[in-house]
Structure 1
Amino acid sequence: MGIYLVPIAFFGFLAFGMPVGFAIGVAGMIGIIDMGPRFMTMAPDRMFAGLDLFPFLAMPFFILAGEIMNRSGITQGLVKLADTLVGWLRGGMAHSNMVASVMFAGITGSATADAAAFGNTLVPAMQKAGYSRSYACAVTAAGSIIGPTIPPSTLAIIYGSIMGVSIAGLFAAGILPGLLICGICMLVIALNAKRKNLPAGGPRPTLCAVWAAFREGFLAALLPVFILGSILGGFATPTEAASIAVAYALFVGGVIYRKLTWQDLYEVCVRTTRITGVIFLIIASATILGWWMTFNQVPQAIARAMLSISQEPAIIVGLILMLLLLIGLVMDINATLIILAPVLAPLTVQIGMDPVHAGIMIILALNISLMTPPVGACLFVLASVTGEKVEGITRELWPFILAEVAILLVIAYWSDLTLFIPRLLGL
């Protein structure tokens, strides 16, 4: 009975608007009750155990570092640097948006932070330059998923922690996919520039202008290099690097730029606590649901179902991608990752995939769902920040979505590309 009641309850709660963390938790408790009363006393211990992982400490620190950089205005230097480098192209501000997303990704690792920051700054600027608001929002949404792909990525920390995969390896493997997403989105912008009559860029920058922009954005651009260098070089764990990133952001924002007030610090701490609390609630609740799934051998059933369709690794990978993209349409990506990773990761091992390669494939597939309706988080962030309707953003997004799905397929089926940097670094 519970095998049917739990999914019905979960999707029913979501349909009635219950927050996803509570929906997962209540559905999981229904499953635990069905397992037997004696399991109820074990539920709190299971929830705590799901959070009692040292690498999870990195998440709030990376989120806090990004919030400090945002609040202190340091990231504006990154936007200016990106605009200097590519703003002279036709559709230059759209190209700048993408390049700035790559730079911003190395600071926050968050798609929604990218969408909120650029929705407040770049979207109005693009409107003034002659872009439609819906197109400006679409470009911002498409670039925002670079955030949780390029390290430091919150999803990589979650996946590596719960699956026992090297977080440093996942960080290294996310660099090329993130750059490829940026490149193909810039190609989409360039191909549509004339058809959409995008504004022409300004004159090519001089070396002096590039140097001036680089000096202004240097301190912000140095942070992701510092984070990655310390982790990939083996000098610090992701958690240690995250805490160092907070100290660096506080020093640059408060001492060098002098743009942080005590009120700012209070607000960034509150916002970090809220974001972290939501993620940790989902993780704890998903631990209960995952326990119920394991008890009822749901992962094994899904694996058998997929293997019954075909034994070919290429087809299995296609089925996994289809499942992730479809579920991502209707479910929060953190919850999807925590619930499905223990189900799908053993299946990828069974067909011979490298754990780091499989992890990046799963993470990228879920990142794409951040900009697909009806529950794409970046769409709703941009809609609330800019006032543009979700339907309008979605209409302009489809070329970018298709392009990024193409990159997903390349990443999924070309393991050497994904693992090139990890192998180069010996991870």
Structure 2
Amino acid sequence: MADSLTIFAILIALIFLGIPVAVSIGLASLATIYIFDLGVPLTLLPSQTFSGVDSFPLMAIPFFIFAGEIMNKAGITRRILDLADAIVGSLKGGLTYVNVVAAMMMASISGSGTACAAALGVSLIPDMASRGYSKEYAVSLTSCANVVGPIIPPSTLLILFGYYTNTSVAELFMGGVLPGFLIGIALMIVGTVICRKKGFRQEKAPFSGEKLKRAVIRGWAALLIPAAIFLSIIMGWTTASEAGAIVCVLSLILGACYSTITKFSDIMEVARGAANSTCTIFALLALSGIFANVLVRAHFQEVVADILFSLGGSPTVTLLVIVAFIFVLGMVVDVTPMVIMFAATFTAIASDIGVDKVHFGVVFTLICMIGAVTPPVGGILFVTTTIGKVPMTRLVPTLTPLVLTLFAVASALVFFPSIVTALPNLLF
């Protein structure tokens, strides 16, 4: 048990010192190997590093990242906002609904909560502030709404989870659909209550069919691309990786049609941005090969299983304990390293107590994302507070009810697994 505690103590210490997470994972693994003489030969480390990224399913990640960058360049984000505004913007507190609906639509294209928050926050946060909403509320809502980024498919986190736990990515994608919509509905309800209490934009504007028609004509691609992803995967025509490649091609065609991507230099600009994001993730994946080997030699899974089973609770209680641990650690560790470091271990334990892997995968991902909107190291929160120029400490009063709403949805998923498993069981 000492070696398991040591590797995580070293890892967290290095992260707090500001060392990049990928480097921290590698250094913590090497330090633990030498401190406890785990018998890992140095000649084995290069092959383990390479094996961490040598997988066809992982090709889906750069494809979806590249597609998301293309769509941002193509102006799809602005069209999504216009479409959401035409649908729900006329309601009282309309930008609350626009924010959440736009996040759900963006999630069905991008697959990254941080990328969605950055793309939408640049427009939404200043717009909400200029229309009478407090900046704290705008930042808090934008942060929590984009938790659905990796829940509604496609999702880079669910792809990683499927890779590390040998779970069907297609089933994970379908398992995230209903929870994603449930999160959106819950946030809109709580946001409405907050708006009424605070007096944010209580006037109701007339609904405009002509405005909706124009928005649909301009933003139909925002609906076409998710449909193409869903159909190709559900019907078994493509894998997630192949679907990602198709989306890249569709996005490039749309960029050309919208006259926003007209030169080769535009494509190279998009490719550089996608390459930066991909390299960050794949550096983590590569060094996780060494990290996983160290955890196996340190018997980490057996240690955690013994602790959980010693509590003597029911499967639901054990699952709640796992959820609590994931959340606490997720407050200080980013979402991608969380999946890399803990998905396999906790999925094996959850399977031993009878929890469906698809169910656990969606719950695990959602809890990691809640950590991303919780201080002190929330990745999404860092992006939105930077855009809104609001310190995290000022967000606590408005952020708290929205985070509790996310926890309520997560609790519903724990106690009612069919919310997650209904669609996968029906379709597969």
> TM bucket by the smaller chain?
over 0.9
- Given that residues 78 and 221 in structure 1 are in contact (C-alpha distance below 8 angstroms), is that contact kept between their aligned partners in structure 2? no
Residue type of the partner of 2:11?
F
Question: What is the RMSD computed on CA atoms of the aligned residues?
Answer: 1.4
Closer/same/farther in 2, CA of residues 195 and 375 from structure 1, 3 Å limit: same
Residues 142-195 of structure 1, C-alpha deviations (whole Å, 9 max, x = no match): 111111110000010001011110000000000011101100000011112221
1:406: which partner in 2? 408
CA offset at residue 4 of structure 1? Answer: 4.7
Which AA in structure 1 matches 2:45? A
Q: Which amino acid aligns with 2:359?
A: H
Confirm or deny: 8 A CA contact 2:111 2:153 kept in the other structure. Answer: yes
Alignment match, 1:136: 138
Give the secondary-structure state (helix, strand or coil) at the position aligned to 1:88: coil
Classify the secondary structure of the residue corresponding to 1:107.
coil
Q: 2:31 is matched with which residue?
A: 30
1:121 aligns with 123
In 2, the alpha carbon distance for the partners of 1:35 and 1:155 equals: 33
How does 1:263-412 map onto structure 2 within 5 Å?
A: 263-412=265-414
Does the CA-based 8 Å contact 1:67-1:268 persist in structure 2? Answer: yes
Is residue 2:102 matched to residue 1:90?
Answer: no
Taking the aligned partners of 1:5 and 1:108, their CA distance within structure 2 comes to 37
Change beyond 3 A, Cα 1:201–1:87: farther
Match of 1:180 in 2: 182
One-letter code of the match for 2:7? Answer: V
Distance, in Å, in 2 between the alignment partners of 1:322 and 1:36 is 30
Quote the residue 1:68 is aligned against: 70
Mapped partners of 1:201, 1:181: distance in 2? 25
1:334-366 CA distances to partner (integer Å, 9 max, x unpaired)?
Answer: 111111112111111111111111111111111
Cα deviation, residue 202, structure 1: 4.5
Shift of the 208–4 alpha-carbon distance from structure 1 to 2, 3 Å rule, reads closer
Paired residues, what number? Answer: 425
2:171 matched to which residue of 1?
A: 169
Equivalence for 1:7: 8
Task: Work out whether 1:226 is the aligned partner of 2:228.
Answer: yes
State whether residues 92 and 201 of structure 1, in contact with CA within 8 Å, keep that contact through their aligned partners in structure 2: no
Q: Percent identity?
A: 32
Kept in 1: contact 2:77–2:119 (CA 8 A): no
The offset of 1:403, in angstroms, is 0.4
Instruction: Give distance in 1, aligned partners of 2:350 and 2:39.
Output: 35
So what's the TM-score if we normalise by structure 2? 0.96
Indicate the larger mover: 175-184 or 216-225.
216-225
Match for residue 202 of structure 2 among 200, 203, 219: 200
Q: Which range is displaced more, 32-41 or 396-405?
A: 32-41
Aligned to 1:415: 417
TM-score (norm 1): 0.96
Shift of 1:37: 5.7
CA distance in 1, matches of 2:97, 2:58: 34
Gaps of 5+ in 2: none
The worse-fitting range, judged by mean Cα deviation, of 52-61 and 37-46 is 37-46
* CA distance in 2: counterparts of 1:169 and 1:160, whole angstroms: 9
Q: Using the TM superposition, give the Cα deviation of residue 201 of structure 1 relative to its aligned residue in structure 2, in angstroms.
A: 4.8
User: What CA distance in whole angstroms lies between the structure 1 residues aligned with 2:67 and 2:75?
Assistant: 13
Where does structure 1 lack aligned partners over 5 or more consecutive residues?
none
**In structure 1, C-alpha distance between the alignment counterparts of 2:155 and 2:86, rounded to whole Å:** 27
Alpha carbons of 1:50 and 1:201: their partners in 2 closer, same or farther (altered >3 Å)?
farther
CA distance in 1, matches of 2:39, 2:221: 57
Q: Retained in 2: the 8 A contact 1:112–1:144? A: yes
Are the equivalent residues in 1 in contact too, given 2:86–2:208 (CA < 8 A)?
no
Task: Name the aligned partner's letter for residue 329 of structure 1.
Answer: M
CA drift of 1:393 comes to 3.1
Aligned to 1:57: 59
C-alpha contact (below 8 Å) 2:96/2:192 kept by paired residues: no
Aligned-partner SS, 1:341: helix
Q: Relative to structure 1, is the Cα distance of residues 416 and 81 closer, same or farther in structure 2, using a 3 angstrom cutoff?
A: same
| Distance in 1 separating the partners of 2:266 and 2:394 | 34
The structure-2 alpha-carbon separation of the partners of 1:49 and 1:5, relative to structure 1 and needing over 3 Å to count, comes to: same
Quick check: 1:168–1:232 contact (8 Å CA) kept in 2?
A: yes
1:3, CA displacement in angstroms?
4.3
Q: Which amino acid aligns with 2:52?
A: G
User: What is the CA–CA distance in structure 2 between the aligned matches of 1:278 and 1:172, rounded to whole Å?
Assistant: 27
